[in-house]
Structure 1
């Protein structure tokens, strides 16, 4: 043999190392077991959040809201509206006086894509300009456009000539 044809190391160590102990610790089966185990761990870790969401959707998590003054009855004419924030300062809402004794209030984010909803007194409707959605002012139910769910209604209380927001009505499917 001349010196250019020599193998610089043992052939046994180079070509058959895959069968040696500890050389290949993660094969396809081991990888799949790890992947399934990680997916199972992820699924189990989301269970508490699923329970919180289910509790919220089933109405078991009734929230207590602080009573908040919206306006004085004498300052809201029939057919007029008042913008306010409820239940937090980041949640925009609207109060509408439909008749002498009927007041309604809704969170004014469209149930389609959360665009603002406006009261159009002349048409007697609440309009979402983004996709031409319309809502019945008396019920909050959608009457036209892509929205499928009603606007979340805000519970009202009138006490000594003052209108208060006292809660948010639960959505019922």
Structure 2
């Protein structure tokens, strides 16, 4: 009886009976790379429609119609003062600045460096990004100091019947 417990239960002399030796390595390095490249290709092709939709949207931004929005009354904004507002949507923060009696400028106030908020500093007559000390010219929106390299997107404003309106956003070419 002791001899029966020492007996191997299979005909082979080791426990490799469950390995299919002919198909032992069905996914080798070359097969893995082919699978990886194929998956990447499927991903790239499947993302093409979304890229086309995004490109179509971006190409039409300059022609996009925006809703006219009243920002403030002329009598409520003194020369040198600013008014914060949201345009073209509630998620887009902007600032209106009255530079002279008849000169109003408005910009989206997200810094073009890392999207930090930009503030109007009346005493210095400039727009400042406190995150990285970026400074923008209030007349043009162009950066004058710091890391930003692109100007702030300008919000086109109109004065009509003693009220100031935002009418569209001017996009800049890169």
Report if TM-score (shorter chain) is over 0.5: yes
Deviation sequence 1:99-132 (CA, Å, 0-9, x none): 1221110111111111111111111100111111
In the alignment, does 2:173 pair up with 1:172? yes
Please give the residue correspondences for 1:119-134 in structure 2 after superposition, counting only pairs within 5 Å. 119-134=120-135
Gaps of 5+ in 1: none
TM-score (norm 2): 0.85
Deviation sequence 1:38-97 (CA, Å, 0-9, x none): 10011111212322333344x334322211000111221111111111111222110001
Gaps of 5+ in 2: none
| Structure 2 partner of 1:29 | 30
* Mapped partners of 2:21, 2:171: distance in 1: 63
> Structure 2 vs 1, CA of residues 6 and 17 (structure 1 numbering), >3 Å: closer, same or farther?
farther
| Structure 1 partner of 2:60 | 60
Q: What value does the CA root-mean-square deviation take over the aligned residues?
A: 2.3
| Structure 1 partner of 2:91 | 90
**Count of residue correspondences:** 169
The CA deviation at 1:17 is: 2.0
Partner of 1:14, secondary structure, is coil
